[in-house]
């Protein structure tokens, strides 16, 4: 059953991106959701995820938010969709098969997705993963879940804009987390599986976005804005 607790009341108190995410994740967990992800559809960037690293990698490599049939259907209809229904009707697609296998291996049995346009410049795609089938949800419960996801997406965007939040990519957020842990360039390169020269480019790009000149300043500023990656799947110092 979808929990009737008021997400709206809880989100009113949130002033940072991290607070909005933490509040929404706790709320969706009461509905049985085991994982969530938020994509910026305009850029294709992953803004938040606590799905497993393996599943996110499979999705990014095999499908991607720009080519996902579930995203297209939700965008056209303006409604929440059951991802399992859409993917299971396209099993001839090797990429979809691979993602479904990865989801099953990570204990997920069903998922929903919603395309949310918060204004003319911002469109987000929110996905929730469940460890059980959602076939028993009533229309009322499904509608309530859609409303909660819309509330979350709109608050998420509003807080980012209100705080003047620059859009750090998932990789840049991962760099900040590693920098906060005191990782060297070599350790960052190994953890993110990139070349040392790419680390320097990543550092420069992150500094430019945050308008800082040192790693300490970057970590402090990102922490204040709730932009340090908190995903379970985020790379740690290797």
Q: What is the pLDDT along the chain (238 residues), one digit of tens a residue?
A: 444 458 999 999 898 888 999 999 999 999 899 999 999 898 788 889 999 989 999 999 999 999 999 999 999 999 999 998 999 888 788 999 999 999 999 999 999 999 999 765 689 999 999 999 999 999 999 999 999 999 999 999 888 777 665 678 888 989 999 999 999 999 999 999 999 999 999 999 999 888 889 999 999 888 876 677 655 556 665 5
Kindly give, in sequence order, each residue whose CB lies less than 8 Å from that of residue 83, ignoring residues fewer than 6 positions away: 70, 110, 111, 112, 113, 127
37 φ, ψ (degrees, to nearest 5):
-145, 145
Q: Which helix (H) or strand (E) holds 135?
A: none
Question: What is the topology classification, in CATH, of domain 170-224?
Answer: Arc Repressor Mutant, subunit A (1.10.10)
Phi-psi region of 125 (alpha: psi -120 to 50; beta: other; left: phi over 0): beta
Q: What is the pLDDT of residue 1?
A: 45
Q: Which helix (H) or strand (E) holds 62?
A: helix 53-62
What global pTM score does this model have? 0.70
User: Which CATH architecture fits 7-162?
Assistant: 2-Layer Sandwich (3.30)
Q: What is the pLDDT of residue 169?
A: 83
Q: What is the pLDDT of residue 208?
A: 86
Q: What is the pLDDT of residue 237?
A: 59
For the chain, the domains span 7-162, 170-224
Q: What is the pLDDT of residue 11?
A: 93
């Amino acid at each position: 059953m979808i929990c009737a607790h008021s997400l709206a009341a809880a989100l009113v108190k949130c002033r940072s991106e991290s607070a909005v995410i933490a509040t929404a994740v706790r709320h969706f967990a009461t509905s049985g959701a085991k994982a969530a992800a938020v994509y910026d559809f305009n850029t294709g960037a992953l803004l938040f995820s606590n799905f497993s690293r393996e599943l996110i990698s499979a999705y990014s490599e095999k499908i991607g938010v720009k080519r996902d049939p579930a995203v297209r259907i939700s965008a056209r209809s303006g409604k929440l969709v059951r991802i399992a229904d859409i993917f299971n009707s396209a099993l001839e697609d090797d990429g979809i098969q691979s993602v479904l296998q990865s989801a099953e291996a990570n204990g997920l049995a069903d998922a929903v997705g919603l395309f949310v346009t918060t204004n003319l410049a911002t469109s987000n795609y929110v996905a929730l993963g469940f460890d059980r089938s959602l076939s028993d949800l009533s229309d009322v419960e499904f509608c309530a879940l859609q409303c909660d996801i819309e509330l979350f997406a709109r608050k998420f965007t509003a807080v980012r804009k209100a705080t003047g939040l620059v859009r750090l990519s998932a990789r840049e957020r991962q760099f900040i987390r590693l920098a906060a842990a005191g990782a060297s360039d070599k350790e960052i390169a190994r953890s993110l599986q990139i070349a040392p020269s790419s680390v320097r480019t990543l550092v420069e790009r992150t500094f430019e976005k945050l308008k800082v000149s040192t790693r300490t300043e970057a970590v402090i500023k990102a922490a204040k804005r709730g932009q340090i990656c908190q995903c379970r799947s985020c790379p740690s110092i290797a």
